[in-house]
Structure formats: C-alpha cells, structure tokens
Structure 1
Amino acid sequence: MKAIFIARNGVTKCLPAGNVEPPAQVKAPSPAPIPAPASPPPPKKLAPPRDLGAKPVLMWVPATELHINQSYQRNVSTKRGQAVIKDIVAHFQWPLFQPITITQRDEAGYWVIDGQHRMIAAQQIGIREIPAVLLDNLTSAQQALAFAGINGKRVSVNAYAIHHAMVAAEDPLSARLAAICEKTGVSIPRYPKMATVSKPNETMAIAALKTAMRVHGDDALIWALRLLRDVYPDEPGMITATAVRLLSAFYAAYADFPIHDNTIQSVLLDKDLDQLREEASQRSTNSTGRTPWMIAALAEAYNEALPAGRHALPITQASLVGIGGRL
C-alpha cells in the first residue's frame, strides 16, 4: 500500500493512500470596493478659429539672392551696425546663427525681413547658403509689419542672465569672475534689481567687475570685494560700480605698500564714495584726471586715520595718472 506524507503544524503524518486529508482552504479576503471614477472637468471653451496666415517654409537660400528693402530696414552702415556685423564674423558658428526671415521679391530673389546683420556677416565669411524662414509673398506693408513685430516685441536678455549663461558655457572670463565672487562671498543676480530690494553682498556692477578684473587683475578685485563685504556686511546696495572701480584702482596703485585693514575700513565707514566722485568731477574735467584725484583723496584720508608709527602712503597724483579705469 502506498503511503502519502502530509506535513501540518510542524508534524509529518503518514496516511494510507485513499485516506488523504485535503489541505485546508484559506479564504481570500474580500476585495476593497473600487470608488466610482470622478467626473471629468467640463471642456474649456476654445477660442474661435482665426486666420494664422500661410504656414512658413524652412529652407536654405543662396546668399547672392538676398536683398534689403530700405523702405523699412535699419541702416547697418552706422558704427553700431558695423560693430554688430564684425562681432558676428569674429565669432561665427552655426549653433550661434539664427535663421533669417525672408519673403519673395517680384523681380527675383528674396527680401530679408529680419536678420540683415547675420546675412551680411555670412556673406563676408563666404557662406554660400543661409538658413531662412520663408513667409510666402508678403507685400511691402506686410513686410514692414512683420519687421516691426519681430523686432519690437523681442525680449532682450539682460547682462546678468548672459553672465550666468556664459559661466554655464565655461567661458574663461565669466568663469574667473564667478570664482572670484564665490571666494569673496559676493553674488551677482540673474536679473536687474533696485538697490532697495537687493540683498547684502549682492552687486549689480557686473561691467565694473569685469573692467576691474581686466585692468587691475584678480588680486585687486578680490581685495576690493572683501573690503566692501567686511565694511558693509548687512547693508544692501553697497558694492557699487564706483566702489569697485575706485578700490581696485587704489589697490593697484599701492600694491607694493602695506594697507592695514582696520584703517582702510574706518576710512570707508567715514567716506561717501559717491560724494567723493562728485567732488572729483568738479575738480577734473575728464575721467583720466578724476581717477588719480580720488585715489589721492582716499590715500590722504587713510594716512590721517593711520595710527602713529605706521608707514604712510605716498601721495603724488602725477604717479597715479597711469592707473586706468573710468570712475
């Protein structure tokens, strides 16, 4: 007789064949009730269809077939226009080139509605075909309206956003400035701010920062920013263009002399640099003369505040004339 072994509750039983106890059935739990689906939101009312005009065509157009309609286009022969074209030529790369906007001419070829600076730059480089967006057969009035619409409603990118984009693009100059700001605890916002809503140690003087770094070097800018941060740790709007330019130039002028932190800090707390700049403007008719005068005035105040026994800074405006930077 065959035997069947069944394990139950930790004990193995040997039962004869035909007398096997069926295993206990486990009752499955009842499924939870499924909630009724929520009613879909009512459909939004769509705006009535309107005429969007003919769909534009993307194409490559021969550079020799492009023409300018002078009745509404800008004059690119100005100093500013030529500078823009020269910059495009110097830095031309396809990732930086936006397609121009064109329409057909009655005679032959195409009118350039938007992008004549890019077109001229591409022609100067010797590019034979240019990417373009073709708007089908616009009249001269429609071309002018398109030109005004494209250029008049274009949102310009501010210098602060461009700086942060260039840092992300690993531009060497922008990366250097970002490293200096991080080292000194100074920040540059991503958009323009009023001084009344800016944060402490935040500066809008991005052009002055780059000028000081280029003219006087990284060490001068680092010294100037650290000094301003230490003197005005909790006051917003104090890292101004005037302060950055003056203090960077001051450091460059006296790089070979010891400058005591406590003394120069006390001078800055006592001096209004904007007022000092106004006094310099009254005393000198050009920026070249204003810079040495302000450095000399700051050095004089520093020497007066210097404790006895410390070495004073030499003050000779003639020796300061070579210090660059516009104040």
Structure 2
Amino acid sequence: MTDTPSTTYGTPPRFAWLPTDTLVVDERYQRSITKDGWKRIRKMAAAFAWQKFGVLLVSEGDRIGDHAVFDGQHRLETARLLKLPEVPCIIVDAPDLAAQAVAFKGVNKDRIGVTRVNIFWADHAAGVPQAVAIKELCDACGVVISRVGTGRQKPGHTVALAAIEACMALDEESLRQGLRALVTAQGEAENAFRSATIKALTRLHAMNPGKVEQERLVRILADLDLDDEIDEARIAAKSFRGKTEIALQMRLTRAYNKNLGADRRLEEPRL
C-alpha cells in the first residue's frame, strides 16, 4: 500500500479559506447574474448561516493570486454583500481558461438552470472545435450568440444553438445563405433568429441549390412578421403531424414563388 496519491484521476483538490477579494468569475463562459439572481442573493444574505453556505469550487491562484470561481457565484456575492473577508473553498487543478471552462461544464452540465447557452460558452472557452466553428460561422454571418438563454432575444441575437449545429451538419453553405438573408431582412427585429426560421431557411436553400434569388428572398422576409409565421406554421404542422420548420419552409416558399414563372419557382417541401 503506497501513501502516494494516484495520478490517474488528476491532482487531488485541497481545502482553504480564501479572501473574497481574490475570487473572480469569468464571464467568458459563465452567465452574468440576473435580476432574479440578485433577489436570490439578497434573500440568502438575509438568512445567512455557515451551515448552509457550503464551499466554493475554485481554481488554483493565477500569477496575481486570483482564483476563478466555477461553482458558487451566487454564494460569493452573498459573502461580499455581508462583507465577509474570507470564504471556504475547494481548490482544484485548473490552471488556465480552457481547464476552468471544462471544470465549470463538468460541475454544472446536469443541473437545472444551466442552459445550453452556458454549456456552449464553456465549450467555446475550452476550445471545443464544434463550438469554435459555430461561433466563427455566426460571426461571419453577422449573428450574435446570446449569453442569455431565456426570453425574447435582442435584434441579431440567437440561442438556437441546436438548430445551428443541425443545419451545419445538413449543409453549411445553405445555413450561411439563410443566416445572411435573415440578417439583412430581419436584423433589427427582436427574436428573429429562432430555431424554426433558421432550419426553414437552411432547408429552403439546400433543396434549391443555386436557384434562390437572395434579393427576392430578403424582400419576402422583410415584409413578414416571423412570430405570426411561426405560429401559423406550428398550427399547420400540428394538423398534419409534421414539423414546424417544414411548414414554415412551405409558407416561405409559397410567398417566394408568388407570381413567378415556372423556371424561377422553388421546390416546395412536403409536410
């Protein structure tokens, strides 16, 4: 029996009381605290007890002595609100941004309240190729990947990461064309970059390679209320037991084909 810790599972963590002013939260892969989050923090502070505080999970100190917190952001702010000089921490071996993002994802991926967007930004910070590729594609098309995973999205912002990933696998160039058309037509509209719309436009281009007249498509999209279009598509899809994005693609295709000669018309999908 050896007293030397096994290295199979990495470096064992250690416990320490750390000054609150040396603890930082990296918003490159973690979400900012919301209005509801601050309400929760104030409630925690009002009923504070060490028995309920637990420990924060943090990285080893960097060159200036700061420790990245990847589990316990709300408890840290509670401690600061109470002006506690130190808090109990478990220090793990995560010496750089990528390692810290991996640790954050590992701790939080199965928890309620940690969204796909949070996991995406952790993957991106860790250099996961798929996340990097999605970010590069969205940047090139003028689409902003939101850091807020719920509620209506600001103009040009999206949280439709699963849809974008699926469309990249289907036809990346068609996805690019669809996103660029949407940016041009609806870039100033709230909540325009939803899953159904992104999938519908990608499918529209993929089914009609080289045939879509982008200027015409942009004019069609600019005249639409996409919230209404998705609602109508959802109703049609439910009636025919189809998919909302295909019903939306059908609506967009019919609007595009109106008053066009047969040689310029796009192929319609089937529900």
How far apart are the structure 1 equivalents of 2:249 and 2:221? 13
Distance 1:285 1:166, change over 3 A: same
Amino acid corresponding to residue 281 of structure 1 in structure 2? A
Where does 1:1-327 land on structure 2 (aligned, <5 Å)? 156-195=113-152, 198-214=153-169, 216-255=170-209, 257-271=210-224, 272=226, 273-287=229-243, 292-306=246-260, 311-315=264-268, 317=269
How far apart are the structure 2 equivalents of 1:212 and 1:159? 17
* Structure 1 residue runs without a partner (length 5+): 1-49, 57-94, 99-114, 116-150, 322-327
Distance 1:302 1:286, change over 3 A: closer
More contact order relative to length (CA 8 Å, sep ≥ 6) = 2
Higher percent of residues as helix: 2
TM-score when scaled to structure 2?
0.53
Question: 1:181-234 CA distances to partner (integer Å, 9 max, x unpaired)?
Answer: 110111112222421xx43211121222222222x2221221111111100122
How far apart are the structure 2 equivalents of 1:281 and 1:226? 26
Contact 2:115-2:149 within 8 A present in 1 as well: yes
How far apart are the structure 1 equivalents of 2:165 and 2:177? 14
Question: 1:66-114 CA distances to partner (integer Å, 9 max, x unpaired)?
Answer: xxxxxxxxxxxxxxxxxxxxxxxxxxxxx9789xxxxxxxxxxxxxxxx
Tell me how far 1:239 sits from its aligned partner.
0.8
Say which SS state the counterpart of residue 177 (structure 1) adopts: helix
Tell me how far 1:293 sits from its aligned partner.
4.6
RMSD: 3.6
Contact 2:204-2:249 within 8 A present in 1 as well: yes
Cross-structure match for 1:16: none
Say which SS state the counterpart of residue 158 (structure 2) adopts: coil
Tell me how far 1:175 sits from its aligned partner.
1.1
How far apart are the structure 2 equivalents of 1:52 and 1:279? 52
Question: 1:145-192 CA distances to partner (integer Å, 9 max, x unpaired)?
Answer: xxxxxx9xx774322121111112111111110111110111112222
Say which SS state the counterpart of residue 217 (structure 1) adopts: helix
Tell me how far 1:314 sits from its aligned partner.
3.6
Rg: which structure is higher?
1
Q: Aligned residues: percent identity?
A: 20
Aligned residues: 171
TM-score when scaled to structure 1?
0.45
Distance 1:97 1:175, change over 3 A: closer
